Amino acid sequence: MNPGPRISKDPEVRKEELIDAAEALFEEKGYDDTAVSDIVRKVGVAQGTFYLYFRSKEEVLEAFADRLVNEFTVKMREIEDDPGRNAMEKFVLITRASLSLTVGREKMTDLIHEERNAILHYKLEKRMLPSLINTFTRVIEQGNREGLFDVPYPREAAIAVLGISQQFGEGTSDHTMKSIVMESLERILDIIERVLGAKKGTFLDHYKELGR
Amino acid sequence: MNPGPRISKDPEVRKEELIDAAEALFEEKGYDDTAVSDIVRKVGVAQGTFYLYFRSKEEVLEAFADRLVNEFTVKMREIEDDPGRNAMEKFVLITRASLSLTVGREKMTDLIHEERNAILHYKLEKRMLPSLINTFTRVIEQGNREGLFDVPYPREAAIAVLGISQQFGEGTSDHTMKSIVMESLERILDIIERVLGAKKGTFLDHYKELGR
Amino acid sequence: MNPGPRISKDPEVRKEELIDAAEALFEEKGYDDTAVSDIVRKVGVAQGTFYLYFRSKEEVLEAFADRLVNEFTVKMREIEDDPGRNAMEKFVLITRASLSLTVGREKMTDLIHEERNAILHYKLEKRMLPSLINTFTRVIEQGNREGLFDVPYPREAAIAVLGISQQFGEGTSDHTMKSIVMESLERILDIIERVLGAKKGTFLDHYKELGR
Amino acid sequence: MNPGPRISKDPEVRKEELIDAAEALFEEKGYDDTAVSDIVRKVGVAQGTFYLYFRSKEEVLEAFADRLVNEFTVKMREIEDDPGRNAMEKFVLITRASLSLTVGREKMTDLIHEERNAILHYKLEKRMLPSLINTFTRVIEQGNREGLFDVPYPREAAIAVLGISQQFGEGTSDHTMKSIVMESLERILDIIERVLGAKKGTFLDHYKELGR
DNA sequence: CATGAATGAGGGTTCATTCAT
DNA sequence: TATGAATGAACCCTCATTCAT
């Protein structure tokens, strides 16, 4: 009956809060199992308020995905534009970042790989891929110039490399398989060297060097 | 409207009918938007009958996926075991079959790639991948023996090639892009030749030869 | 048919309305045969509104039972605390009130005794008994002090008397038997007098006096 | 498709098997939660077979209740007709038997008292009560003749005593309370002695004497 | 007597979205 | 901008019972 205290906030802030809550809940229970009522409860706001900021439930998902993609794109750009690294180093860094996809959000990888979050996976992939491909392409071109790679079609090679890392990364959702992947890292890198026309063994050196 | 005579059938047959109907509806409207009531109406059977054969709605999806995977696996095996073809030919055939994933079910590709069917995609991929990897691996080994390929780690190469074709295939869901892909086929094959250590241009020849 | 204007009400009021409707329908058709859709239709409210106030159908039953028990408990307390009556008078009043259990809800007795409402019966009995026993116990103690009763173990006597009236009351569900019970009232009271150590015939006098 | 081996049995035997299975399941899960399919599965018989013996699910409940009542009635009759015992002894034996109501079926008491089995409770009570009252009445009359009791209205006294023991027994469903009840046994018996006009303490002696 | 596939009404519940305040 | 009560469509599933064989 009594409206309760009406707290107005900067719309941007409110919206961000809602996306934050949504993200946390999506991680916890998945998109489908997260109710709008869950989100507003977490923020401490009325049901209707949600619809002042998003036209539908799907729109938060969209907004969340956008945010994630933006962060990711920035990260990519930073690596790409780093003048102090050669193409091979950049390549390793990008691969690593894109494999985790998380940018500090460690749970995200699991989130993405859980079956019930397939849609989210799709949304993210569709949005991230273009910038990822672009970045990869440019790094490959840099590598060509540096004489490290020998790639006639950089764009296609970029796509191929992405496909390869994704395919190997897929199995990685199971934590148990991580060590196995590590074991076969050498073999995978051998393949990538072939694709990029790099000298055998050079990638592995860089991987080791860049630690972790 | 009125009951009509009660028609009993061999359970196997009934079950197949239900999966058939489910498949058609999943194609048409997606899994989530297909109601159990839709399925039974299509078969002309009572609602309860459905639950005689499946414990839940998800179980038909499972059954459908299994069926698809089985058919696919058989197809793979046939190609793999064909004594009249060399590794390169088999490779082309497998790629093509796995790209369409459909085995004659033309709409299936779309079905799988529509966002709302992401879960189905996941389910299928998870199930198909192992047999696909195995087949690819053995064909690569055959290629090694035939002197067509030069692959030190056949299994990893198989996975990589799968990743590559998947990545390129992904864009293919939009019909508009098909021609673009065709254009870049040559480039893609170049990459695959590198991965498999095949002579440049040999794949393209086989692709052309095996028509389309 | 068409929506009509949306009418918001004080939640307390809405909830009460729903319980009222539920009660009426439980009386009419029993708990099992009352659908949630019946209840909301009666109130003129949407199906979902019901679940704004009760988590499940059973919860209305619970709420209804609670309400009944509360009313009943208040009634008991009033009689118990009435300073103007002696123990015997109170005893008669309590017996009567507890026999009808209805507090003005005449159909309730039938409701409770119909076989299909056995669960309701159980729920009510379990909840009412404690306060009923307490009240009876205290009245018996008062009677002891007043020299009307001679009861060594008031609590046990209270329980016993309850058992007795319940057993006789049980048959009362059939209206046809009511006269028979009346006939044997004298005999029943004789027994109760024995239990309470009251003088023979005193109860009957009070029953007549307090009319009916 | 193939009918499976068709095992014919003496109808009486089959029916008994079905009631047995029903009883076990009712004990385990309650009447409502026991499906006809559960029963037939337990017996290893087809769904339709059930309906050759019972017109409905409720009819097994009925049949089961009847069987229980019959056994109980026989037990009562035996005690009642025992020429070697006086009324007080018989009284104790009957009370004990009726309290357990189980006739060797130990779980039955719990079964009856669980809320979800309220209906069964009702059915049994309704059926058992008459014979129980009759037996009690005749024993009381015997007691009158033997000079042990002094009861002007045996039938009413029988009903009263039943009510008393039922009320006390009700709490007994919780195993935890059993000891408490034992403690207050003396007090309860004091009340019963009053109702039956027996000499104070005589019941307790018989209870002790008849062991347990 | 027996089978077991088929029936189909029925009901509780969820939740994204709206709207009167 | 905010509230939160109200909406209502939609859906999955159970299970007692029937009936063609």
Mean per-residue pLDDT, B173-188 = 62
d(CA A60, CA A66): 9
Nearest to C195 among D166, D168, D194 (CB): D194
A178 three-state secondary structure: helix
Give CA–CA dist B10/D54, Å, rounded: 28
Mean pLDDT of chain C: 83
Predicted confidence (pLDDT) per residue in C107-154, tens digit:
454 554 556 677 777 777 778 888 889 999 999 999 999 999 999 999
Which candidate, B196, B190, B159, places its Cα nearest to that of A188? Answer: B159
Integer-rounded Cα radius of gyration of chain D: 21
Position with higher pLDDT, B140 vs D205: B140
- Bases in strand E with any atom closer than 7 Å to a protein CB: 1-21
CA distances from B175 to B169, B170, B179, B180 (A): 11, 11, 8, 10
B119 with B167: CB under 8 angstroms? no
Query: Considering only alpha carbons, which residue of chain A is nearest residue B117?
Result: A119
A vs B: CB pairs below 8 A: 83
So what's the pLDDT on residue C120?
75
B5 alpha-carbon distance from chain centroid: 39
The C-alpha atoms of residue A210 and residue B33 are separated, in whole angstroms, by: 48
CA→C1' distance for C26 and F6 (Å): 25
Question: Between the CA atoms of C75, C76, C82 and C85, what dihedral angle is there, to the nearest 10 degrees?
Answer: 120
| Planar angle of CA A65, A67, A71, nearest 5 degrees | 115
Question: Is residue B195 within 8 Å of residue B161, measured between CB atoms?
Answer: yes
Q: Which residues of B touch A (CB under 8 A)?
A: 115-116, 118-119, 121-123, 152-153, 156-157, 159-160, 162-168, 184, 187-188, 190-191, 194-195, 197
Distance CA A34, CA A26 (A): 6
Calculate the average pLDDT of chain B: 83
Closest CA to D115 of D207, D7, D31: D31
Using CB atoms, pick whichever of A121, A164, A197 lies closest to residue B164: A164
Same fold: A7-55 with A56-210: no
pLDDT digits (tens, 9 = 90+) for D21-39: 999 998 888 888 899 999 9
**Rg over CA atoms, chain C:** 20
Architecture of domain C56-210: Orthogonal Bundle (1.10)
Identify nearest nucleotide to residue A52 by CA to C1′ distance: F1
Measured CA distances, A170 to A96, A99, A110, B125, D11 (Å):
14, 9, 11, 11, 62
CB contact under 8 A, B166 and A165: no
CATH code linked to domain A7-55: 1.10.10.60
Do residues C72 and C128 make contact, with C-beta atoms less than 8 angstroms apart?
A: yes
Percent of chain A with pLDDT over 70: 81
Instruction: Provide the residue ranges of all domains of chain C, joining segments of one domain with +.
Output: 7-55, 56-210
Q: What is the pLDDT of residues D139-171, one digit of tens each?
A: 999 999 999 999 999 999 999 998 898 888 765
pLDDT for residue D120: 75
Q: Do A191 and B164 touch (CB under 8 A)?
A: no
Residue-level pLDDT at C33: 87
pLDDT value at residue A99: 64
Higher per-residue pLDDT: A106 or C20: C20
Query: Quick one: average pLDDT of B54-63?
Result: 93
Instruction: Give the DSSP letter string of B133-186.
Output: HHHHHHHHHHHHHHTS---S-HHHHHHHHHHHHHHHHHGGGSGGGHHHHHHHHH
Q: Cβ contact (<8 Å) for A187 and B163?
A: no
Residues 17-46 of A with CB under 7 A from strand F: 45-46
Q: Kindly write down the DSSP assignment for every residue of D120-148, as one continuous string.
A: HHHHHHHHHHHHHHHHHHHHHHHHHHHTS
DSSP D6-48: -----HHHHHHHHHHHHHHHHHHH-STT--HHHHHHHHT--HH
The confidence band for B176, taking pLDDT boundaries of 50, 70 and 90, is very low
Q: pLDDT tens, B86-102? A: 999 998 888 877 766 54
- Partner-chain contact C164 D164, CB within 8 Å: yes
Q: Which residue is nearest to the C1' sugar atom of E5, using CA?
A: B8
pLDDT above 90 as % of chain C: 49
Measured from the CB, is A201 under 7 Å from any atom of strand F?
Answer: no
The DSSP letter of residue A172 is G
From CA C198, how far away is CA C200, in angstroms rounded?
6
Instruction: State phi, psi for B33 to the nearest 5 degrees.
Output: -85, 0
Distance (Å) from the C-alpha of residue C40 to the closest C-alpha of chain D? 26
